[in-house]
Structure 1
Amino acid sequence: MDKEAYSELSLRELRVLHALLQQRSITRTAEVMEMTQPSISKMLRRLRAQFSDPLFVRNGQAMQPTAKALDIADRLRVLLAAADGLRSSATEFDPARSDRRFSLLLTDVGMIHFLPPLIARLAAVAPDIGVRAVPLDARQFEYRLETGEADLAFGAFPKAARHLRRQRLYFDSYSSVLRKRHPRVRKCQSLAGFLAERHILVTGSETGHAAHGIAHRVLASAIPPTNVMLRVPSFIAGAIVSAETDGIVTLPANLARRLAPSLGLIAFDTPVPLPRIEIAQFWHERYHRDAGHKWLRNLAFELFSGTGRQT
C-alpha cells in the first residue's frame, strides 16, 4: 500500500477494523461502536480498498479474517493503545476545572446504587465533568474497557480477564423481600415458611448478573419447583412483581434496602445460606496512570468502600 493510502486512514476506521476483528460480525460491531450497520459496511469497503485486501470473508454466518487482517491485528492493537495514550495527561488533574467525559459500565442494579451518590458528589466538586452510563453486558465489558469505549466497569465479575485492573469496593449479601400486607409476613422469615411460599426467582443474565448464578442455583434447588411462580432476568422487575403479589423475591441486600421503602416491601435476611457478592471496579491497564482516571477511581473508592485509598 502506498503512502497516499496510508495518509487516508483515520483512527475511527482503524477502531472499526479492530472491532470487526474482535466481533467477527458487522451487526455486533455496529452495536459496540454505536453506529449503524450500513455505516460499518461502508467503512469496511473503504478499508478493503485501502489495504488492497478483502480483510474478511464469509464462512456461513461468520466473518473470518484473511491472513493479512490477522497479520496486522497485533500491530493495530498497539497502535490504538498508543493513540489512546496520547490523550492521557501526565500533568496534574484539576476536577474543578475539567470538562472531561467518563463512560461507566453498569448493570441496572449498579445504576441505582452507584449513580445517585456519584453524580451528587461530582456536582459538588467537579460540576463540568460529564458521565455517560452504559448498560453492562458481561459478554463485552472487557472489550469495551480494552478499546476505551468505557473508562470503568462496576460489578461482580469473578472470571474477569486477569489483564484487567480491579479494586474491591465492598461485599454484598442477599435479602429477601415481600409486600407489607403479605398474609404470612412473620412465618415467611423462617426457613420452613420461606420454602413453603411462592417465589419469584431472578435468573441473572449475561447483561451483568453472571455472578448471581450460584445463588440462583442454590435457591432453585431449595425451593420446590411448584412454588416458583415466576422467573425473571431482572432484580428490579422481580421486586416490582413482589410488591403487587404474594411472591417473595431474593435480591442483593443493598438493592433490597434501597427499593423496600418506595415499593412498600419488607426486607429480611434470606433463611437459605447464599454466597456473598464481591463488587469491584474494573479498568484497563492503559488508563491506570492517567491522572483524571485515577481521580475518578479514588472518588469511587471513597464513596463506596468507606475507608482506604487505592494504590
Structure 2
Amino acid sequence: MITRTLSFLLISIVLTACSVFDPEANLKSEKQLWETAQMHMDDRRYLDTITTLEELDRRFPFGQYADGTQLNLIYAYFKSSKFDLARLTADRFIRLNPDHPKAAYAQYMKGLSSYASNNSIISRYLPGDETGRDLGGARDAINDFTQLLERYPDSEFAEDATLRLIYVRNQLSEYEVNVSRYYIRRGAYLAAVNRARQVVEGYPSTPAVIDALIIMYLGYEALGLPQESQDALFVLSKNYPQYVAGDRGDQRLASGVLYEEGETLAGILTFGFLGSARDLADRLATFSESRRQDASRRPLATLRPAEGVPTIDKPSVVTDVFF
C-alpha cells in the first residue's frame, strides 16, 4: 500500500513538473507542429526546427507528415552541422522507404553529411591543405555516393555526386601521398613505398599516382632494389612520359622533376641520413604542390564541385504516408 502511494505521488510530481516547465507540451496537433516546423525552417531557425520536428516524429511516427518530417530533419540536421544525426536519419529513411521518390535526395544528403563531417570547425575558419589530415569522413562519402549512383543512376543528383566522388577520391589519394612523404622524411623508405603502392592500386586514375610512382622509385632506390625502382619508373613513363628520361632498364627522373641537371638521387641520399631524407621530402612536397597547381595537367574533375549544384534546399512538402 505504501509503495503504491509513493508511486502515485511520484507520477503526480512528474506530471506537475512537465506542465510547469512546458505548459504547451502535447497540446499542439500534428498539423500545428508541422506548420510550426515549416515556419522555423523558412526563418532558417534550424535548431527550433529540429526541436519541433523531433516532437512531431515522436508523437506521430506514422502520421500524415511522417515522410516529410524525416526529410526535413535530414536537412535541418545538415544545416545545423549535426552531420552524424543527418546521416543516421537519412539511413533510417532509406531503409524504411527504399523506393520513395525522395530516396535519392536522402542518399545524396547522406553523402554530403559524410564529407562535411570531416571538416572541423577550426579548418573552416583556418583554411589549409585538406590532404594533410585524416579524411575519415571522405571514405564514408565514397561509399554513400557510390550507392547513390548504383541505386539511383538517373536521379537529378547523379552528375553532381559523380563529380564529388571523383573529388573525394582525389583527396584521399593526396592524403596517402602526404603520409608517404612523412615516411620519406623519417627515412622509413619501406613504409613510404607500401603507402605509395596503395595509391597506385587503390586510386589509379587520380593525379596523385604520379607522386606515388616517384615515391616508389625513390624508396626502392634507397632500399637498394634497382629492379623494383626501374619497374616503378617504367610504369610512370608509360603513363606520364614527361617525368622520365632514358630507356627501359636505365631510366631516371627527368631533369627538373626533383633535382637539377648534374644532381643525382645517390648524391642527395649520401649527405647525412636524416638530413638528406628531409631534403628529399621537401623536394617531393614542392613537386606535389606545383603539380596540383598546374591546371594544364589537372583534369577538371579534380576541382571541388561548385557549391549548390544542384541547389540543395529543404525537400518539398510530403503530405502522404509512403509505404
What TM bracket, shorter-length normalisation? under 0.3
Return the structure number with greater strand share. Answer: 1
Larger Rg: 2
Structure 1 length-normalised TM: 0.27
Structure 2 length-normalised TM: 0.26
